Amino acid sequence: MKRFPILAAVAAFIVVFVGFAATGRDTRYEVSLRMRTTAGSLGQLFYAGEGKGYSPDRSVAFAATSDGTWHEYRIRLGVHEPVARLRVDPGIEAGEVAIGPVAIRTPGADPAPLAGRTLSAAVKGTNDVTSPRVEGEAIVFAASAGDPFIDLALPKGGSPWPARLGLAAAAAAVTFVLCLLFASLQRLPAYVTGMRIARHAAGRLAERLSEPSVVTVKAEAAAVLVALAVASVVYIALALHQSSVGVWETMYPAKPVHQLVDLGEPRRVRSDEWNTQTPWILNQVQRGARLTNSNIGGERAPLLASVPVLGSVATFQPKFLGFVLFDLEHGYSWWWAYKTFGLVAAFFWLLLILTRGNTAMSFLGAVWVYASSFSQWWLSSNLAEILIAFALGVIGANYLLYARRRRWLFTGALLAVYSIISLLLHLYPPFILPMAYLGVFLLAASLVEPGATDKIRDAWGIRVMTGMVVVATSALLLASYVVQAEDTIATMMATIYPGHRVAVPGSVTLERALYAWFEAFRFGELRFPAAAINASEASSFVLAFPIGIAALRFRGLLRREGAYPAALALYALLVLFWMCCSMPEPLAKLYQSAGWSWSPPERSLVGLGIGSILLAIIVAAHAEAASPQAGILRPLEDRRWIPLLAVIVVGMFGWGLRKSDEAFITPGTVAAGMLLAFLLSRGISQGKRASLALGVALLAIPGATVNPLTSGLSAILDKPILSAARAASDGPADRWAVVGDFVFAQGLKARGLDVVNGSQMVPDARLHTILDPARRHADVWNRYAHVLFESAPGSASPEYSLGQADLYVVKLDICGPQMRAMRVNRIAYTRAVPDQDLRCLEPIAGDDSSGVRLFKLVPPKA
């Protein structure tokens, strides 16, 4: 108790440090402006500090609604210093533009918005702009085609330091008081009795969960599992999720909604989730979870889209059970709870097996996997489900091979079958292939471990029979799935994009593979290394496997006790070779024939990253245990030098990276990477739990800021314009088409409506039989794509054009026969409606502020 105030002070300091780290790197300047434009939809903001010029890397593009009506826009700037000037580019077409008021929220102050005459006075330059004038709070001008913009001088904002210091002091005070209160509670008899009961219950549960031939579970490990279960219950009860669906608050129109919990920022870069996967799932649930759903794509696209499906193998997906048990929002929360808590729990249990029951190291390893930059930036994809299936598969195989009690042996068999089916239902070979090889290496190592053959011989007959049942059951389920999905798979494989692409080795530089020592410390989606194209592609894993290898004796790797580290080290080197080396053609073909042609080096990183973490944690557990297995490690005297060497190497590497990327690799970033190298290397090589925990915490702080934490789906389900469209639909026979932004089409799908365009996973042959009967444009539409409709009044036949690899445009006569042939009877326009289209449209009441107009399609008037 005498040391508790000191510990409380340390905790308060950590809170202050975390707070400054979280707020100091992302100042979150936000521009809000009101604009009316007919100058096109390609808006852009440039920003600059005092005395600095504009540059492309200091700009943010935004989609303007070019319909001549007022709209509100909120744009966050990727800036870490005060903004003195702002350049507003309203579009690139000729038209009339009105802007005002304009406001910028700074970390230190929220100055009054620029409006009317103050806005006019702030204009310090224009381009391709004529006849500017003040009208009320706005300035109005005519924009010429080309590069129209207005340049604004902004009022100075206050310093962020007073606000940050105040918050830090308050957080530190609260933390200190809470720690002291906790210390006082420990003296109460009720607390002592409660803890005694809790420890006893955890011990009993640990005994039930233990299988000594596989892993002996301690009370602390059982408590971790209970805590994860309780946390998941609270998570679901509050309808929490980490989706970026909150992006919908910024469009149609930009208007925040109230939510019980609303932490963090939605990530626009994760559009494959908030604009694709989430609308697909919500649509599929509301439309009965059928095998076919044209809102997702042609054929039986739901079988490939990782959405709830009844009446097939895909029914057996526990991650979607929440949609059966609860309402839409709580079912959606269940899905995210599976990703979050399932990932941590699965790797916690796997590491318990690999570390022989080391609870602390296993928990740190599970957090490391979950909080890594790559895991977080790809969490909204199928990565979490694939990693869970991998971990459960390896766990199941261990119990099937080595458990002596039959209930655990049969549990292992069930886990193995579930793992195989889960991987099948999340069919993304670029991730699955490296994880499958990692599983093979781990199982091969387990067979070499001391006593493995004796355990297998025990109950040999039951193991063989159970294994045969696993194979037969998996084959039967696989055959059932293939029979249902083979035509859809064939259609997908025959597409131009993604089709079947053959990966080649060496497309990742060694610098790219290793820069996570510095990339791990980024906040937000606007700032990332120059070598990457966006925030998700920039994500990586901190590769600490060289530290683990450095701590091992070479001879120790040849001993049975070193089977796991040896297998993981070999795996890491083989994958790194595939990723970073341009190898001779025969060797490249050998890799490709072994399946690596399915996994581009950029995606193979997932296997290398997970394998690196497993190796690091296993070595750390050996070092901490100081057991006979520690004989696989170098002498402690030798291992004491590893942290110093790691700091020097990482520092030199970081300083070398600065030559090509000074904007991201700052001296502070290099220093942070060196600190991380010291903490992780000391924790791994010497088994120092506290150092490893601090290192993982440094990784987890930025990781925790990647995805938001929000309750409910009001951002999309309560959007007035989407609700108006839902109310205007008379029943299942109604079918919508969206002219303009395909994003709005996905919003309609999220409300359960039938929409002919938008995002399509598999091309719908029936649709293109109507639009392109001669298949003149098959090279355009035969792909996974976002389908955008544009109005072309009077055109005889639809015309296709490819916008990008996953987006194409169809120009067609809205009043022509094609719309009726596609059974479309409702139309939404996200841009100006041509006068010629109005002859076949009957207006539907909507939300005027959204910039979207809704219509019923009627026979054309003469």
Of the pLDDT bands very low, low, confident and very high (cuts 50, 70, 90), residue 166 is: low
The residues with which 74 forms a beta bridge, in sequence order, are 32
Nearest residue to 278 (alpha-carbon basis) of 850, 826, 751: 751
Region 252-276: mean pLDDT is: 86
DSSP states along 828-850: EESSPPPGGGGGGEEEE---GGG
pLDDT at 61 over 80: no
Check residue 46 and give its pLDDT: 86
Contact (CB, 8 A) for 108 and 61 = no
Check residue 67 and give its pLDDT: 76
Compare 253 and 599 and report the one with higher pLDDT. Answer: 599
pLDDT digits (tens, 9 = 90+) for 313-326: 777 789 999 999 99
pLDDT digits (tens, 9 = 90+) for 635-661: 999 999 999 999 999 999 999 999 888
Residue of 847 and 112 predicted with greater confidence:
847
Predicted confidence band of residue 115 (pLDDT cuts 50, 70, 90): confident
Handedness of CA 56, 58, 64, 70 (dihedral sign): negative
- pLDDT value of position 504: 94
Instruction: Specify the pLDDT at position 485.
Output: 92
Between 681 and 34, name the one with better pLDDT: 681
- Residue 28: is its pLDDT beyond 70? no
Q: Where are the domains of the chain?
A: 28-159, 245-704, 719-857
pLDDT reported for residue 24? 44
The pLDDT score that the predictor gives to residue 43 is 83
Q: What is the mean pLDDT of residues 548-554?
A: 94
- pLDDT at residue 158 tops 60: no
To 5 degrees, how large is the angle CA 644–CA 645–CA 650? Answer: 100
Q: Is the pLDDT of residue 236 over 60?
A: yes
Q: What is the pLDDT of residue 612?
A: 98
pLDDT digits (tens, 9 = 90+) for 374-408: 999 999 999 999 999 999 999 999 999 999 999 99
Contact indicator for 538, 513 with CB cutoff of 8 Å: no
- Considering the domain 28-159 in this protein, what is its CATH number? 2.60.60
Residue with tokens 């389908």: 787
Per-residue pLDDT, 16: 54
Under 8 Å between Cβ of 769 and 717: no
| pLDDT of residue 573 exceeding 60 | yes
Cβ atoms of residues 511 and 531 within 8 Å: yes
Per residue in 558-567, pLDDT tens?
A: 888 899 999 9
Beta bridge partners, 240, equal 711
Of residues 92, 41, 89, 45, the one with CA closest to residue 68: 41
Mean pLDDT of the chain: 89
The tens digit of pLDDT for each residue in 203-232 reads: 999 999 999 999 999 999 999 999 999 999
Q: Which residues of 655-676 are buried (b: 16+ CB within 10 A; e: fewer)?
A: eebbeebeebbbeebbebbbbb
Structure tokens at 37: 């434009």
Give per-residue pLDDT as tens, 42-55.
788 888 877 778 87
Q: Is the pLDDT of residue 364 over 60?
A: yes
Q: Kindly tell me if the per-residue pLDDT of 101 is higher than 90.
A: no
Residue range 69-76: average pLDDT? 80
Contact 412, 397 (CB under 8 A): yes
- Backbone φ and ψ of 561, nearest 5°: -65, -20
Q: What pLDDT was estimated at residue 316?
A: 78
Q: Is the pLDDT of residue 425 over 50?
A: yes
- Do 377 and 640 meet the contact criterion of CB atoms below 8 Å apart? no
Measured CA to CA, the distance from residue 665 to residue 521 in angstroms comes to: 10
In the predicted model, is pLDDT for residue 26 greater than 70?
no
Question: pLDDT band at residue 257, thresholds of 50, 70 and 90?
Answer: confident
411 falls in which pLDDT band (50, 70, 90)? Answer: very high
Tell me the per-residue pLDDT of 528-549, one tens digit each, with 9 for 90 and over: 888 888 889 999 999 999 999 9
β-strand partners of 72: 34
Q: Is the pLDDT of residue 246 over 60?
A: yes
pLDDT at position 627 is 58
Q: How many CB atoms lie within 10 A of CB 770?
A: 17
Task: Give how far Cα 163 sits from Cα of 323, 348, 389, Å.
Answer: 43, 39, 45
- 468-526 pLDDT, tens digit per residue, is 999 999 999 999 998 999 999 999 999 999 887 889 999 999 999 999 999 999 988 87
